[in-house]
């Protein structure tokens, strides 16, 4: 797995607490993902270029590192793919959190 989110989240070793092997993007890829995310978080609309850039990074991670999927860590990334899912294997972190909350509430 790899993670798309802010540079703070990606560099924080968040995945070190999970039972999955985490692969970080390169420093340049982290900066590029962070810039896109922060722009979206400030209210800018996602562009075709944003989708293409994230897709390129994801496909490089799939090929270069053999990751199984990319975790979309942030609602702004998830919203970007509402109308059309990403062209790479992705996990919606928000859905994972909501599912866990619902399971806990129903336990």
pLDDT at 12 (0 to 100): 81
- Tell me which DSSP letter residue 63 carries: H
Question: What's the domain count of the chain?
Answer: 1
List the CATH number of the domain containing 24.
3.40.50.1860
* Residue range(s) defining the domain that contains residue 6: 2-106
Q: Which two tokens stand for residue 93?
A: 């972190």
pLDDT tens-digit series, residues 38-79: 999 999 999 999 999 999 999 999 999 999 999 998 888 888
Give the pairing type, strands 70-72 and 90-92: parallel
Query: CA-CA distance, 7 to 70, in Å (whole number)?
Result: 15
Is the per-residue pLDDT at 1 higher than 80?
yes
- 56 Cβ contact list (under 8 Å, min separation 6): none
Is the per-residue pLDDT at 16 higher than 70?
no
Is the per-residue pLDDT at 19 higher than 80?
no
């Amino acid at each position: 797995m790899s993670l798309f989110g802010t540079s703070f989240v990606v560099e924080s070793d968040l995945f070190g607490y999970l039972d999955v092997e985490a692969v970080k993007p390169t420093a340049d890829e982290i900066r590029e993902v962070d810039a896109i995310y922060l722009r979206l978080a400030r209210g800018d609309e996602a562009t075709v270029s944003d989708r293409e850039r994230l897709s390129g990074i994801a496909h490089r991670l799939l090929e270069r590192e053999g990751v199984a999927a990319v975790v979309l860590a942030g609602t702004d990334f998830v919203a970007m793919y509402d109308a059309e899912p990403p062209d790479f294997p992705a996990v919606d972190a928000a859905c994972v959190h909501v599912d866990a909350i619902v399971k806990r509430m129903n336990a």
